[in-house]
Amino acid sequence: MSSYGERVFAVSEVNTLARELIEGEFATVAILGEVSNLREHSSGHVYFKLKDARAQLSAVCFRGDARLVDFELEDGMQLVARGRLTVYEAQGQYQLVARSLEPAGRGDLERAFRLLVAKLQAEGLFDESRKRSLPVFPRGVAVVTSPTGAAIRDILSTLRRRFPCVAVLFVPVQVQGDAAPGQIVRALDALSARDDVDVVIVGRGGGSVEDLWAFNDEEVARAIRRCAHPVISAVGHESDVTIADFVADVRAATPTMAAEIAVPVLADVVARIARMERSLATGARDRVELAGRRVASLLRSYALGQVRGRIEQSMQRVDHAADRLVRGAHMLLRDRATLLDAASARLGGLSPREVLRRGYSVCVDPATGRLVASEAGAVGAGRVHITFQDGAVSATVEGAVRAQGGKA
């Protein structure tokens, strides 16, 4: 160890020596601690302290590195900060210059994510050959998501706008927390037994890695893969990627895009039918005209002069057949359009929103997210969430009411 003896140093010299010594020993270090005294300067630099039960350490994350932080820093959170130890010479302050920040435990989540991806990929759960095509005109779309998030509102509004005749089955579940994976798995397994569902949308809005973790669960991935209906994964924003995205039949960047993928635009379907009708009529007319030209050419032939009468009769039969063909084509297209209109009206009447407009309501236990379908269920819940066609209310259940109006 160097000895400076009785040499007299200036303060700045001591601070410089201390900085050089510390930086030489701790050029790269990772420190776990609780954030306190968090302050974001107008310059964009972030100042804070890391502390544990016995000590604290000043830290700074400069603007260029702070811009790369993808989560909200808060006092009290456990943080892993990576950078270098140094001394701020102007004040003789020992501090950490952080180059990267991450919530404590995120590294463990990322390792678990990579391990599970490798495991499921080796089993073939992500193979393109196992992906199923979506139906062009689904009769029913099931939506598995939270009843309180923005995702369900975006999905329902998009489905109504694009294809209002489709029946929508909403299955409310928790989408984050310890209970979320089990609820999602049970919902997907229950939907497999239904024959009125043609495609399933499962997902949620954006959030942190921890918020989206239910969709990185192994059992959720396996439930998506074994679901009897094609599944669209719609988790988070476009930049968010989960294991559910890998295993689903189709991955949508957002919940709104999932609804756009699930159904066509009804106006486009009607326009396409009209184009087909015009094309069929034009094709039939062209074929008739071609046949007529061929017959006229034969009539001018000397060899067929003697059989003109037969040819003229054939021409009449061709004209009559052409008329029947055109009339039949028009009748067929009108019948199909009538059937489509009737089916659209029937399916529109089955929409949950239409049921609500007729005066019905949906009662949900807010604690579990499940439908309350009985008097005992309402009394047991104590507090319920009731959805009407124009909004929702929360209500407290005081007890059962008998038919005469008295309390049970």
Tens-level pLDDT at each residue, the chain (408 residues): 556 667 777 778 777 877 778 777 788 898 888 888 999 999 989 999 999 888 899 999 999 898 888 778 888 888 888 999 988 888 878 888 999 888 876 666 777 888 888 999 999 999 999 999 999 999 999 999 999 988 999 999 999 999 999 999 999 999 999 999 999 999 999 999 999 999 999 999 888 777 888 999 999 999 999 999 999 999 988 878 899 999 999 999 999 999 999 999 887 777 777 788 888 888 888 888 888 888 777 666 666 666 666 767 777 888 888 788 888 888 888 888 888 878 777 776 667 777 777 778 889 888 888 888 888 888 887 898 888 888 888 989 888 876 554 454
Place of tokens 């995205």: 245
d(CA 56, CA 36): 9
State the DSSP code for 66: H
Cα→Cα distances 383→42, 56, 89, 189, 367, Å: 47, 46, 61, 28, 9
Cα separation, 146 vs 172, in Å, equals: 5
List all residues 6 or more positions away from 343 whose beta carbon is below 8 Å from its beta carbon. 165
Q: Which residues sit opposite 144 in a β-bridge?
A: 171, 202
Nearest to 231 by CA among 193, 197, 200, 192: 200
d(CA 304, CA 113): 83
Q: From CA 210, how far away is CA 189, in angstroms rounded? A: 25
Query: Nearest-CA neighbor of 161 among 29, 47, 260, 78?
Result: 260
Q: How far apart are CA 205 and CA 212, in angstroms?
A: 9
In the chain, what is the straight-line distance between the N-terminal and C-terminal CA atoms, in Å? Answer: 87
